[in-house]
Amino acid sequence: MDQPLMPGDLIEIDRVRFKHWAVCIGNGEVVHLVALTEVDVTNAMTDTEGEVRREHLKDVCGKSFWRVNNDQGLQNKPRTAAQIVQDALSWVDETVTYNLATYNCEHFATQMRYGRAVSQQKVTLQVVDSVKKVGLWAGLMGPLGSAAVSASSLGSAASSP
């Protein structure tokens, strides 16, 4: 995708299950947090080892769609581009605890841009966790109770923040 990039911009990259996030540092390069082992999306609270990398955006994206997404700026004031780039570069090659729910690539990117780690994807993970719990309760109640529990619980789980 040909979209103007400025140092300090947040890049949102489409992936199969979730979005991947990176921070533009200029010259077509980004800094981003990656999990070093496969992440278990069915257990969002599992910690794994992650690493912060500096790479070309085209290598990170491959054929995936990407876009500049600085929408967090509506709620948080961004730091200066120089601060963002300097901090992002200071993390390169660092090993970090990666956790889908508590510290993922979006947390890292927003921490660099705004000085505060935030992830909108965490809401999605909470819904997945709620659905898993509904499935457990439905299984415990048997076939007749499962339909009623699933229908009522899924409605409330999907609307929870």
Largest Cα–Cα separation, the chain: 60
Q: How many whole angstroms separate alpha carbon 74 and alpha carbon 69?
A: 11
Quote the CA–CA distance of 80 and 70 in Å, as a whole number: 13
User: Among residues 125, 127, 135, 137, which one has the least CA distance to residue 157?
Assistant: 127
Q: Is 56 a catalytic residue?
A: no
SS3 96: strand
Choose, from 24, 56, 61, 105, the residue flagged as catalytic. Answer: 105
Per the CB < 8 A criterion, the answer to whether 34 and 16 are in contact is no
Nearest Cα to 18, choosing from 106, 116, 103?
A: 106
Phi, psi of 106 (to 5 degrees): -70, -40
Active-site choice (24, 32, 61, 107): 32
> Catalytic one among 20, 24, 61, 107?
20
The catalytic residues are: 20, 32, 105
